């Protein structure tokens, strides 16, 4: 159908190019101290057109496809006096360099400028999206996951301390229903050894959180939403290094930098990270016991003793930036490895592990190509690719049983005992290894027909070629190894409309999903005559689905915007759910079906309202998710809290509905208050009975305060004080067993309130920042997935050093 119409589309595009006289306006904005202006709000307008943008990390801005004529160019920065320039566009390209005069507030926090302008643009396009600030977090001992956990509607589900497995819950939909991206590439392709905590906030420009409805340019099977980590694309030479030390012998080091040769545009870019923690925090509860003579169990408070984590890695890229043929052309590689001891299985059982650990490594080549106005005005191309190999190993050969005091467990007679199966986890000793060859490429092409119409075509391919082996299996079993192939293609076509002087914005998109999985396991068959032969047991599937959606916004007034979005979303089972994973105690389920959901959002954004020195913004989002074939743990069997293995199945159909609300308040640009609340219901029909989905907190609240003192101790210095709290309502990690609720409190996780305090001191040169953080000040017990306990009170000290001029 599209091919038959292609001559007409080509003719239309050629006509537009031939008969329109458009100009590309580029510019560079600096302060009067020669520093680039980050995040200034820039508009160009006349009686018939208005466009807006924000300056980048080097103070650059760009407007494409502006018709010839006279315009007013206006530039606003919170740190400087506004500026208005008359411009006449009468050629294909025009450049403007201008200077802003700093006000008396030049020493205040520039991050308010960067994120406010970007947040305003992104959060008024119709999607239920939140944009998270990262610059202040980069100066403190905060992880990217902690920033996400403080966002309305998001709950980070983590099974312990640093390095433990993490899943993300958005409005009740969690796990693989929420996709994580790094510049549009699914983060799962990088493996366990490279995750969000491996990326320092100083490398991150924005964190975009899309709830329920995911735009076509991300093009993935994100059923419940998506989190996109947008890395800095600036080409200004810089170097940033940080090191922190804290409780549980936790050390984290990050270095990242970029150097560009101005004449040639040749660019070198790199980063390194190293994380280590003993994770020996204290735990207590009904499973934390020591079993003595006669089987008597004595509750204790114990330190985790088999939970050490370390990870190391880096990225290096070379190429060209800001040259005629490319805005960005970079090739390089990512390398990472990690080591993680495993303290227990899915639940915290009375006999913890000692001697079971996991190892992972990855070596991946990467490619980035970006070009705006390729061949013609308005045609933009964006390509990101990753290819390489990943390995993961499971080591479990210790047969001795242990108690929570770290000593050998004894039986009722007082004798030390060993597991009859010869390993910590049931199933026997293992030196299992999973080798993967992985590839992912994201391609995006967009064409801006004019200031009102834009078309985008996006494609994401992800492929995994997996081979499983175990050194403790027989020679014959290792000779004929099982293989797993996993291929996924997702296409998205989007049309964007802007009308009524940019007051109305709409995005219409369609998505096509295709996934093929193949599992081949050699098996020995014996015929009637006793002859043995090797045969392949093959299980495969090939699924295709179609989805579609829209997002719209209308600015009723400049301070009041209504937003609505909807999507028929598909989530294909991931590799672990289909093939299993010994390291995560997951059993294979090749027959699992994709889950589907009809997602709806209705939101309002009020503000920003400014009066005197006060600023206020309020936003809300009502949502509902109608889910079919939800993927999760088996509800009818989950009462067995001694299970070490987990299996993902299609639980049934259900509904999630609720509300998010967020308030941001500022005073005199020294004080900020952020507060958000999320409350929802998540029900599912299982065996004909509607129940609340277990292991899900239905209400969360987060708040944080910041106050700045300038010129404290030294002129041009700045001290920031921070306070934050995180509230999670009580929830049951197991479903109610029928109408009899006696004993249900045994499975209930109580409500939790964790409070943090921090401070950071920026020295006058703004190159060195020292910070100190106390997390969980009052040492309250904090639990998460399946009632696994997380760390208590902890102290962290961090040094951050930056160079922005060479």
Tell me the pLDDT tens digit for each residue of 286-296.
Answer: 889 998 888 88
pLDDT of 110 > 50? The answer is: no
pLDDT of residue 636: 56
State whether the Cα torsion 186-191-196-202 is positive or negative: negative
Distance CA 509, CA 18 (A): 28
Strand bridging mode 178-182 / 225-231: parallel
* Minimum mean pLDDT range among 25-29, 94-98, 103-107, 120-124: 103-107
Highest-confidence range of 59-68, 430-439, 688-697, 785-794, by mean pLDDT?
430-439
pLDDT of 8 > 70? The answer is: no
pLDDT of 139 > 70? The answer is: no
pLDDT of residue 284: 92
Percentage of the chain beyond pLDDT 70 is 90
* Minimum mean pLDDT range among 80-84, 172-176, 223-227, 407-411: 172-176
pLDDT of 15 > 50? The answer is: no
Distance CA 533, CA 525 (A): 5
Question: How many DSSP H helices and E strands does the chain contain?
Answer: 6, 45
pLDDT of residue 613: 86
Backbone angles phi, psi at 202, to 5 degrees: -65, -20
Residues paired with 598 in a beta bridge: 568, 626
pLDDT of residue 274: 94
pLDDT of residue 75: 92
pLDDT of 639 > 70? The answer is: no
Beta strand spans in 1-59 (E): 22-31, 41-45, 50-54
Distance CA 412, CA 341 (A): 29
Tell me the pLDDT tens digit for each residue of 609-621.
Answer: 888 889 999 999 9
Which is higher by pLDDT, 17 or 246?
246
Beta strand spans in 188-278 (E): 204-211, 225-231, 238-246, 250-260, 266-277
pLDDT of residue 413: 85
- pLDDT category of residue 792 using cuts at 50, 70 and 90: very high
pLDDT of 568 > 90? The answer is: yes
Model-level pTM? 0.81
Mean pLDDT over 127-147 rounds to: 76
pLDDT of 273 > 90? The answer is: yes
Local structure of residue 804 (DSSP, 8 states): -
CB 240 within 8 A of CB 266: no
Distance CA 743, CA 737 (A): 10
Angle at 529 between CA 523 and CA 534, to 5 degrees: 20
Tell me the pLDDT tens digit for each residue of 394-412.
Answer: 999 999 999 999 999 998 8
Backbone angles phi, psi at 220, to 5 degrees: -150, 170
Distance CA 560, CA 607 (A): 6
* Minimum mean pLDDT range among 99-113, 255-269, 769-783: 99-113
Extract the tokens encoding 305. Answer: 């003793």
Local structure of residue 409 (DSSP, 8 states): P
pLDDT of residue 114: 35
Query: Distance of CA 806 to CAs 107, 139, 166, Å?
Result: 22, 21, 39
pLDDT of residue 715: 86
pLDDT of 16 > 80? The answer is: no
Local structure of residue 592 (DSSP, 8 states): P
Which is higher by pLDDT, 746 or 88?
88
Percentage of the chain beyond pLDDT 90 is 43
- pLDDT category of residue 419 using cuts at 50, 70 and 90: very high
Extract the tokens encoding 26. Answer: 């580029």
Mean pLDDT over 3-9 rounds to: 41
pLDDT of 195 > 90? The answer is: no
State whether the Cα torsion 155-160-162-167 is positive or negative: negative
Extract the tokens encoding 592. Answer: 């699992």
Beta strand spans in 261-325 (E): 266-277, 282-283, 289-291, 297-299, 302-303, 309-323
CB 212 within 8 A of CB 139: no
pLDDT of residue 652: 83
Determine if the peptide bond prior to 459 is cis (ω within 30°). no
- Give the CA count within 13 Å in the CB-facing half-sphere of 566: 4
pLDDT of 357 > 70? The answer is: yes
pLDDT of 335 > 50? The answer is: yes
CB 72 within 8 A of CB 84: yes
Which is higher by pLDDT, 522 or 579?
579
pLDDT of residue 584: 66
- pLDDT category of residue 10 using cuts at 50, 70 and 90: very low
Distance CA 254, CA 801 (A): 11
pLDDT of 569 > 50? The answer is: yes
């Amino acid at each position: 159908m599209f091919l038959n119409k292609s001559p007409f589309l080509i003719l239309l595009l050629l006509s537009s190019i031939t008969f329109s006289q458009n100009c590309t306006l580029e510019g560079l904005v600096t302060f009067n101290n020669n520093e680039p202006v980050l995040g200034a709000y820039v508009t160009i307008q006349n009686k018939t057109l208005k466009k807006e943008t924000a300056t980048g990390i080097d103070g650059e801005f760009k407007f494409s496809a502006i018709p010839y004529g006279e315009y007013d160019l206006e530039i606003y920065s919170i740190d400087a006096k506004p500026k208005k320039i008359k411009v006449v566009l009468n050629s294909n390209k025009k450049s403007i360099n201008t200077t802003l005069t700093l006000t008396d507030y030049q020493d205040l926090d520039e991050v308010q400028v960067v994120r406010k302008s970007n947040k305003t643009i992104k959060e008024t396009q119709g999607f239920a999206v939140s944009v998270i600030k990262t610059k202040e977090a980069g100066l403190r001992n905060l992880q990217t996951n902690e920033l996400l956990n403080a966002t309305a509607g998001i709950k980070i589900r983590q099974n312990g301390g640093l390095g433990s497995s993490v899943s993300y819950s958005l409005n009740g939909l969690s796990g693989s229903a929420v996709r994580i991206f790094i510049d549009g590439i699914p983060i799962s392709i990088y493996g366990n050894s490279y995750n969000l905590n491996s990326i320092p906030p100083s490398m991150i420009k924005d964190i975009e959180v899309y709830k329920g409805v995911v735009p076509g340019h991300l093009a993935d099977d994100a059923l419940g939403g998506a989190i996109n980590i947008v890395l800095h694309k600036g080409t200004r030479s810089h170097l940033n290094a940080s090191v922190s030390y804290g409780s549980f012998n936790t050390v984290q080091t990050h270095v990242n930098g970029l150097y560009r040769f101005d004449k040639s545009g040749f660019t070198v870019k790199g980063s390194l990270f190293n994380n280590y923690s003993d994770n020996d925090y204290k735990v207590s509860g009904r499973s934390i016991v020591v079993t003595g003579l006669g089987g008597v169990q004595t509750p204790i408070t114990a330190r985790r003793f088999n939970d050490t984590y370390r990870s190391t890695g880096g990225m290096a890229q070379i190429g060209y930036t800001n040259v005629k043929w490319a805005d960005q052309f970079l090739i390089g590689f990512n390398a990472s490895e990690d080591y993680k001891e495993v303290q227990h299985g899915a639940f915290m059982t009375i006999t913890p592990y000692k001697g079971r650990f996991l190892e992972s490594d990855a070596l991946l080549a990467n490619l980035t190509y970006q070009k705006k106005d390729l061949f013609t005005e308005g045609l933009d191309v964006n390509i990101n690719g990753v290819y390489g190999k990943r390995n993961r190993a499971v080591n479990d050969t210790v047969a001795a049983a242990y108690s929570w005091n770290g000593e050998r467990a004894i039986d009722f007679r007082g004798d030390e005992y060993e597991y009859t199966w010869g390993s910590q986890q049931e199933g026997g000793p293992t030196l299992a290894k999973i080798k993967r060859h992985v590839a992912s490429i994201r391609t995006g092409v967009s064409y801006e027909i004019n200031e009102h119409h834009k078309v985008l075509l996006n494609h994401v391919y992800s492929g995994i070629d997996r081979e499983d082996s175990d050194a403790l299996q027989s020679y014959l079993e290792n000779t004929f190894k099982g293989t797993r192939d996993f291929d996924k293609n997702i296409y998205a076509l989007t049309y964007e409309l802007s009308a009524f002087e940019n007051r109305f914005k709409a995005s219409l998109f369609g998505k096509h999903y295709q996934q093929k999985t193949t599992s081949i396991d050699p098996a020995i068959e014996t015929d009637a005559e006793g002859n043995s032969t090797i045969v392949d047991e093959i299980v495969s599937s090939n699924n295709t689905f179609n989805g579609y959606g829209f997002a719209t916004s209308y600015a009723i007034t400049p301070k009041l915007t209504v937003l609505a979005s909807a999507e028929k979303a598909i989530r294909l089972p991931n590799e672990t759910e289909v093939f299993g994973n010994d390291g995560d105690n997951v059993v294979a389920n090749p027959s699992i079906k994709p889950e589907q959901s009809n997602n709806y959002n209705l939101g309002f954004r009020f503000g920003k309202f400014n009066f005197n020195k006060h600023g206020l913004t309020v936003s809300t989002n009502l949502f509902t998710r109608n889910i079919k074939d939800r993927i999760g743990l088996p509800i009818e069997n989950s009462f067995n809290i001694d299970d070490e293995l987990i299996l993902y199945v299609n639980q049934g159909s259900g509904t999630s509905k609720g509300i998010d609300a967020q308030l941001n308040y500022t005073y005199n640009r020294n004080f900020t208050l952020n507060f958000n609340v999320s409350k929802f219901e998540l029900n599912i029909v299982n065996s004909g009975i509607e129940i609340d989905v277990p292991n899900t907190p239905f209400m969360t609240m987060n708040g944080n305060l910041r106050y700045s003192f300038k010129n404290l101790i030294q002129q041009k210095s700045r001290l920031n004080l921070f306070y934050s709290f995180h509230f999670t309502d009580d929830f049951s990690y197991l479903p109610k067993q029928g109408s009899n609720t006696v004993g249900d409190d045994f499975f209930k996780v109580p409500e939790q309130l964790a409070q943090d305090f921090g401070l950071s001191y920026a020295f006058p040169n703004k190159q060195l920042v020292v910070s100190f953080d106390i997390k969980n000040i009052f040492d309250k017990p904090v639990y998460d997935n399946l009632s696994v306990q997380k760390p208590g009170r902890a102290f962290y000290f961090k040094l951050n050093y930056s160079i922005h001029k060479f």
